[in-house]
Amino acid sequence: MTRRWTSPASSSSGSTPPRRASDRVGYRLAELAAQVGGRVEGDPERIIEAIRPLESAGPRDLSFLKDPRYRGQAAASGAGALLVGLSLVDAVPGRDLLVADDPSWALARLLAVLHPEERRPPGVHPTAILEPGAEVDRQAHVGPYAVIGAGSRVAAGAAVLAFVAIGRDCVVGEGAVLHPHAVLYDRTEVGARSVVHSGAVLGADGFGYATHQGAHHKVPQVGRVVLEEDVEVGAGSTIDRAMLGETRIGVGTKIDNLVQVGHNVVTGRHCILCGQAGIAGSARLGNYVVLAGQSGVAGHIELGDGAQVAAKSAALASVEPRTQVAGIPAVEMRRWRRQVALLSRLEEIVRRLRAVEKKVGEER
């Protein structure tokens, strides 16, 4: 099941050398428009090699204009063409344009086309350690000093980069990428096309203790962590394994850097967890839930589909579907805004109240 290479850059005899990120390939503007279902205003034959910001783009670069406030900067840019949405077609007259219905999605797609990631050669680096029973598909990549535990499986197209540590009986799905120094504890499963960034730890013990006779006794955490397909886990984030059963991250969920997910948490599909958010044990998130930066979710509560928790807020009770909450404790967004408005007037209200009390006292 495994193949080892003789040097990090080598591949099988006669195969195409790995493409480097620096190998630029030019595309006609019309070809790029076809990639995103857009259209060209101007010269469809213009050659584009890269995407760059307005201020540094050159004649073979595509740049983008998403905010009309920057139309002056766009007009002065040296970019060969501009990516715009329908509302900005007339913002910069005389420029070659790639017009897309959804310019943000189009930008993401074109970045992948014009700036592809380097293809990693299949094979196992000679310094990697595979314990007996570990299986690595012949089309997978295992980098220098990676460790793969007994009974673990790495599927075709997956990339386990330098110094990754994979415990026993783990699964790394097709096309998944584990960046340097990512850690998978025993029995962790990473779904197809998922990405785990450097320093992330999946499957560490959940924070569970029983206090007995004045001492804290560890509750064994015998469950596991499962990432479903197309999940991304940011650098330095941690997802604890369940006490029993699974901590499960749903399809397409994106987790920012420095996020903490407690044991037995379950998220639905396509959730967004922003930096420094924290979810306590056994909380359940529906589909498309958003936790903004530094927000917190208490344990054993539920956030319904489409619920959103504002930055630096703490959801201490369950949240209804499609509801935005903010504050500590978090309340419905409109109520929180009223509270903030009243708080800003608190000194004035106190002064007026004291004036009324003084007047009433004098009249007596």
pLDDT of residue 179: 99
Q: What is the pLDDT of residues 127-178, one digit of tens each?
A: 999 999 999 999 999 999 999 999 999 999 999 999 999 999 999 999 999 9
For residue 201, is pLDDT > 90? yes
Q: What is the number of residues in the chain?
A: 364
Tokens of 305: 């589909």
**CB of 28 within 8 A of CB of 45?**
yes
Structure tokens at 176: 């998944």
Per DSSP, the three-state class of 152 is coil
Residue 313 class from Cβ within 10 Å (0-12 exposed, 13-18 middle, 19+ buried)? buried
CA atoms of 236 and 256, how far apart (whole Å): 9
pLDDT value of residue 169: 98
Question: Is it the case that residue 12 has pLDDT exceeding 60?
Answer: no
Q: Which residue has the tokens 């930008």?
A: 107
CA neighbor of 328 nearest in space, from 308, 343, 311: 311
At residue 8, the pLDDT reads 37
pLDDT at residue 261, rounded to an integer: 99
Which of 14-23, 28-37, 144-153, 242-251 shows the lowest per-residue confidence on average (mean pLDDT)? 14-23
Position 18 confidence tier, pLDDT thresholds 50, 70, 90: very low
Question: How do the domains of the chain map onto residue ranges?
Answer: 27-114, 123-336
- Cα separation, 302 vs 309, in Å, equals 12
260-261/238-240 β-pairing: parallel
Share of the chain above pLDDT 70, in %: 93
Check pLDDT > 80 for residue 3: no
Axis-axis angle for helices 333-344, 346-363 (nearest 10): 60
DSSP assignment string, 322-358: T-EEETTTTEEHHHHHHHHHHHHTHHHHHHHHHHHHH
Amino acid at the residue 208: G
pLDDT value of position 17: 45
Rounded CA gap, 248 and 268, in Å?
9
Average pLDDT estimate for 351-357 = 90
Band of pLDDT at residue 23, cut at 50, 70 and 90: low
Token representation of residue 261? 């997910």
Q: What's the pLDDT at 361?
A: 80
Q: Which residues are catalytic?
A: 263
Distance between CA 104 and CA 83 in Å, rounded? 9
Residue 184 has pLDDT above 60, yes or no: yes
Min mean pLDDT across 14-18, 94-98, 303-307, 314-318 is at: 14-18
Nearest to 83 by CA among 69, 53, 103, 67: 103
Task: For residue 109, give the H/E element and its range.
Answer: helix 103-114
What own/partner pairs with CB < 8 Å and gap ≥ 24 does 55-63 have? 60/26, 62/29, 62/32, 62/98, 62/110, 62/114
State the average pLDDT over residues 182-194.
99
Position 31 confidence tier, pLDDT thresholds 50, 70, 90: very high
CATH architecture for residues 27-114: 3-Layer(aba) Sandwich (3.40)
Residue 2 has pLDDT above 90, yes or no: no
Give which of 337, 273, 275, 264 is closest to 301, Cα–Cα: 264
CATH of 123-336, one of 1.20.1440.230, 2.160.10.10, 3.30.420.40, 3.40.50.12140: 2.160.10.10
The answer, yes or no, to whether residue 64 has pLDDT greater than 50, is yes
Residue 118 has pLDDT above 50, yes or no: yes
State the average pLDDT for the chain. 93
